[in-house]
Amino acid sequence: MPNRLGKLVVWVVVAAAVVAFVLFVGGRAPEVLAGRAGEPLLGTLTLSAAVFWLLAALAVAGAAAVALSRNILYSALGLLASLLGAGSLYVFLSADFVAVTQLLVYVGGVLVLVLFAVMLTNQIGQVNVSNASFGLFGGILLFLATAPLLLLVAVGIPWKTRPDPKLAETTAAIGNAFLDRWLLPFELASLILLATLIGAVVMARKELKADEA
Amino acid sequence: MLQPSLPHFLAVGALLFCFGMVTVATRRNAVAVLMGVELLLNGANVNFVAFNHYVVGGIAGQVFALFVIVLAAAEAAVGLAIVLGIFQTFRTVDVRAADLMRE
């Protein structure tokens, strides 16, 4: 039964991704691996480079699943993989706080909201109804029109990079910056969140007509 | 070549952005369109943090990425509330069906 095997493979991959993310970000894994991260694992491929390629592949494959899957529940799971992959890439960019925030806000909050919306609005069994698209042809055309250009820009331009970017912890500096230079945007963000809270409740509640009340 | 550097992160961000754009453009389910928007924002976020680390230094790009995450969460909450309202009114989440702003 290939269907059940496919499901099993998907679940194993998702579980492995979650465990790897937690180990890599929160645990002692970086320190344990620190001595060996620079050593070549296979040819010129080092351990950290191998982890990077795995996570990048996870992010891109998840995004492809969101765009191409016929079942919206699989699209939501693809979004989970994509957000996890992109979030763990932040660790390579010396952005530990952003990575953990991505895990908490996106995977813990936004994705749960999306799953609730999927469950509340669709009959999951009706695959073609649940995630119909305007046609694969236009999508492929759009992808072929944009992706090569953006990839060419990303790879082809000689970016003026810093000589030796070091990995450093940034949480304390971010806290200071929020209450110092970016105090006004920070307070505005809290105002926006309050307005969102009230607005979402007002819009999603059941409307009572005057004669029913 | 195998070591991760700026172009690799930019390529990942570009691919996330492209897949998000395809999702927004081709899906008829409003929830799936919102998923595409999340992918778009994530692609932009990867670029913010990558340029911050490899080009600018400091933490300004990370602060920007955090603001993007906050606004994306707010956008998702309001957007999904609107989708639920559309579903209650039209009994479907097909974006072509919701062409009226009243019942």
Provide the shortest C-alpha distance from residue A95 to chain B (in Å). 7
Residue B12 has pLDDT above 90, yes or no: yes
pLDDT at A134: 65
Please list the ranges in chain A whose pLDDT falls under 70. 1-2, 25-43, 122-134, 207-213
User: Which residue type occupies A106?
Assistant: Y
pLDDT at A1: 55
pLDDT at A46: 81
Euclidean distance between CA atoms B77 and B31, whole angstroms:
12
Tokens matching residue A50 = 């191998």
pTM above 0.80, yes or no: yes
pLDDT, tens digit, 9 for 90 and up, residues B43-76? 999 999 999 999 988 899 999 999 999 999 999 9
The residue among B15, B24, B86 with the most chain A CBs within 10 A of its CB, best to mutate, is B15
ipTM, two decimals, is 0.91
pLDDT, tens digit, 9 for 90 and up, residues B25-42? 888 888 899 999 999 999
Chain B touched by A177 (CB under 8 Å) = yes
Length of chain B: 103
